[in-house]
A and B are shown apart, each in its own frame.
Chain A
Amino acid sequence: MLLSMHGICKSFNGIPALRSASLEVGEAEVMALVGQNGAGKSTLIKILTGAYRRDEGSIAFAGEDVSFNMPAESQARGIATIYQEINLAPQRSVAENIYLSREPRRFGLIDRRAMREGAVAVLRTFNLEIDVDQPVAHFSAATRQMVAIARAVTQKARLVIMDEPTSSLDEREVAILFETIRTLKRAGVSVVFIGHRLDELYRICDSVTIMRDGKTVATGAMAEMPKLALVRHMLGKELAAFEAIAKDADEGAQRPVRLSVENAGAGVRVRNVSLTVREGEISGLAGLLGSGRTETANLIFGADRLERGEIRYKGQARSYRRPAEAIADGIGLVSEDRKVDGIIPDMSIRENMTLALLPKLARSGIVDRARQDEIVARYIAALGIKCTSPDQPIKELSGGNQQKVLLGRWLCTDPKLLIVDEPTRGIDIGAKAEILRLLRRLADEGLGVLMISSELEELLAAADRVTVLSDGTSVAVLPRRELSEAALFAAMAHQVE
């Protein structure tokens, strides 16, 4: 074994992120490390590299017990990490990046010729012939990644950790990257590959380590781990007891279609997505991380431009160029990341809630404060938002209450279609059930709801029908009566050939 980590525990502010996690990597082995958001993958990696200190557990690397205090120490011992956002200096040349802070020297000065020749030589081992004097920023994401890997190789790395290396690559670039990984392997280097696209993992990895809720729940040879089992291990937490509030899709089958998406695509994240949302139904959208769920929502909402396929809203073809146009049509989007895409932290609850409605609340540009107060008071009461007053800054609220304010932001515009992306993320269990019941009530009043969720129990409890995405493609539509944990697992594990 090159690396073996055992019994690793780590808490932040008393909240456990890792609970006895382990990871073992052999010599010249490509190990897949998989898990849902928050499973603890990145915490485990940061503990290995020394970015975090562990609370408990042991780490042995190359036969010695180690305990790195900072990333530089682990690097010196031969552990290189290549992050999603590649940490290169974009304006410096390829050669300079490969030798950054370890420049070959001659008489105390940087030996540019040696640096250039070294860079060319190492890149040639990956079949990459590029001008090493060009700034890194001039090259594609895949090439930049290869430069980062070349840097790792010149550091005599024995273990290279790649964090979602394929997330911004197209298929051809992925092939190049995989060839590079094979080259590394032949040279005896081990790789930890963190990824979400199952078919890629099966293509390149020898073994797999699956994490869930801060624990390592399964390990094994990739070839002996059926996809279904892998998905089950990743997602299979004990189902929380949500009351079933979904309705049978048959009941609503006659209802008019509010939104239909046909063969939609844009970029590499959304390849071919079809789905429908009917009036008065909660249509679920499921899929593993990186399957293109959020990107699909952004397409419908006009936050990204549709490149292929068709989106029909209330029977008419629509291609919104900006969210404002979708909003004018009666569409709302509660986005996945509340902090980044949702709240305006310093603004009050009142201002946050009425932001989308504001133009309609005004006469010749001046906000009708009385109506604003009335609407805000109504939704604070209706949604049960706990706050000291509507003037309280939204950043002071708990996650669940922030989410309710954001729901209120759209509800007060009287939408016809509401897209909710992970509506209960980061919210305590009581508030979760409450938000699901609220969505159901709204659907009963005629709203079309598209609910994106990575929590199966949520979909099982609330969705009238679930469309499953895999690798940017809709691979299955499960009506209510066919909806089960097993059916969702099977659909998510679907392989796109």
Chain B
Amino acid sequence: MTTIETQATAGTVPSGKRFFTLAGRYGTVAAFLALILFNVLFTPNFLSLQTLNVNLTQVATIVIVAAGMTLVIATGGIDLSVGSLMAIGGALAPMIFTGALFPVSSMPVAVALAFILPVIATALLGLFNGLLVTRFAIQPIIATLVLFIAGRGIAQVMTNGNLQVFRNEGFQFIALGRIAGIPAQVILMIVIAAIAWAAVRHTVFGRQVIAVGGNEKAARLTGIPVHRVKLLVYMISGALAGVAGLIVVARNSASDANLVGLGMELDAIAAVAVGGTLLTGGRANIMGTLIGALVIQLVRYTLLANGVPDAAALIVKAALILLAVFIQQRAGKP
């Protein structure tokens, strides 16, 4: 019936609420800094280039996938298919440069195609997700469940369920190479995160993504091509999953359709949630997602480096997500 409008000149805010507002805004950063401080004090050899590289290479694929996931979630959707799309991208690439798919005459061309074609393929599968969501108005969680299930099957059928083992220096540069001492995949992660961040902040597309998630009806009445925006975010999410798939198989010198990207959708969603992007849409915090992924990675690393088994680390990870979402909810309350 009647709502009390908040005045333009904001009044005093109760201190409990202010705590949650602050925690909601800076909590993830604070947790990140606290984890680093803890490790500096208690984990042996934490402050070394090697530790940094280990953590960054492990988090790179999560950040890359989570960047796309952030955009999808910002429109009010979700993409469960990313892990399976990684498997497809990861299965396609070696088939191209080993000549299993079609004969290759020149290795540099084959390697180039091995980078490009899998990403195009997963982008098109992302487009398929987008079409289900827009044209057929299927709920995103169900629409992307289709490829979550079928995608890994497709990857297994393509490879007959076989493990593809390979050595290809050119292709594996994406995971093993270094530029100025920094792992190539870390650079790729930084570039992708930076582009996604700039896109959200400075492009028409970025503003439209947030408007669609914030109020789809109003967005349509403002002339925003709602369907096109959604198609694009699912395509981007698919393409980035493909890139992540390439990195994983290049790192392992092997492509196993059963394992590539397994559980990635949940890691990516967790990074987005911890990073402060509301799962209801209308916000896209790429920097938050980056830090969210780093926090999750650091928690795992901290526990492992201090002798806590991986299984227990999972429980802590889950608790962390719960805490992050709880704080955000309290902060978001009027």
Contacts and interface: CB of A to CB of B under 8 A. Distances in A.
Of A328, A355, A387, A395, most buried by chain B (CB within 10 Å of CB) is A355
Contacts, number: 102
A344 B203 contact: no
Of B6, B215, B217, B219, most buried by chain A (CB within 10 Å of CB) is B215
A362 interface: yes
A366 B203 CA distance: 4
B106 interface: no
B265 to A, nearest CB: 25
Given A365-B203, A399-B5, A347 B221 contact: no
B282 interface: yes
Of A343, A344, A362, A409, most buried by chain B (CB within 10 Å of CB) is A344
A375 interface: no
B218 A359 contact: no
Interface string A8-19: 000011010100
Contacts of B225: 324
Interface stretch (B125-133, B205-213, B322-330): B205-213
B220 A388 contact: no
Of B4, B208, B219, B222, most buried by chain A (CB within 10 Å of CB) is B222
B307 interface: no
B211 A392 contact: no
A334 to B, nearest CB: 10
Contacts of B210: 344, 346-347, 351
Contacts of A12: 1-2
A358 interface: yes
Contact of A323 (B4, B7, B223): B223
Interface string B1-38: 11011111110000000000000000000000000000
B214 A346 contact: yes
Interface string B50-78: 00000000000000000000000000000
A70 B217 CA distance: 34
B211 A347 contact: yes
A137 interface: no
Given A15-B2, A343-B215, A401-B8, A358 B204 contact: yes
Given A43-B1, A335-B221, A397-B8, A359 B204 contact: yes
Given A323-B220, A351-B207, A398 B5 contact: yes
A341 B211 CA distance: 12
Interface in A341-366: 341-347, 351, 355-356, 358-359, 361-362, 365-366
B207 A369 contact: no
A120 interface: no
Given A346-B283, A398-B8, A340 B217 contact: yes
Contacts of A347: 210-211, 214, 282
B189 to A, nearest CB: 23
A386 interface: yes
B223 A328 contact: yes
A323 B214 contact: no
Contacts of B2: 12-13, 15, 17
Nearest to B5: A398
A358 B208 contact: yes
A303 interface: yes
A356 B203 contact: no
A166 B7 CA distance: 40
Of A326, A346, A386, A398, most buried by chain B (CB within 10 Å of CB) is A346
A322 interface: yes
B8 A396 contact: yes
A342 B222 CA distance: 9
Interface size classification for chain B:
20 to 34
Interface string B194-238: 000000001111011011001101111111110000000000000
Contacts of A342: 218, 221
A387 B8 contact: yes
Contacts of B222: 323, 327, 355-356, 409
A10 to B, nearest CB: 10
A347 B213 CA distance: 11
Contacts of A346: 210, 214, 282-283
Contacts of B203: 362, 365-367
Contact of B215 (A345, A396, A398): A345
Given A397-B8, A409-B222, A365 B204 contact: yes
A108 B218 CA distance: 51
A333 interface: yes
A343 B293 CA distance: 32
B208 A341 contact: no
Contacts of A326: 223
A388 B10 contact: yes
Contacts of A328: 223
Contacts of B217: 340-341
A344 B211 contact: yes
Interface of B: 1-2, 4-10, 202-205, 207-208, 210-211, 214-215, 217-225, 282-283
Given A17-B1, A333-B221, A341-B217, 16 more contacts: A13-B2, A301-B221, A303-B220, A322-B223, A324-B224, A327-B222, A344-B218, A345-B214, A347-B282, A351-B207, A355-B211, A365-B205, A367-B207, A386-B8, A396-B8, A399-B5
The 5 closest A-B pairs by CB, nearest first: A344-B214, A324-B223, A327-B223, A398-B5, A355-B222
30 contacts: A15-B2, A301-B221, A322-B220, A322-B223, A323-B221, A323-B222, A323-B223, A324-B224, A333-B221, A340-B218, A341-B218, A344-B211, A344-B214, A344-B218, A344-B219, A351-B207, A355-B211, A355-B219, A355-B222, A355-B224, A356-B223, A358-B204, A366-B202, A366-B203, A388-B8, A388-B9, A396-B8, A397-B6, A399-B5, A401-B8
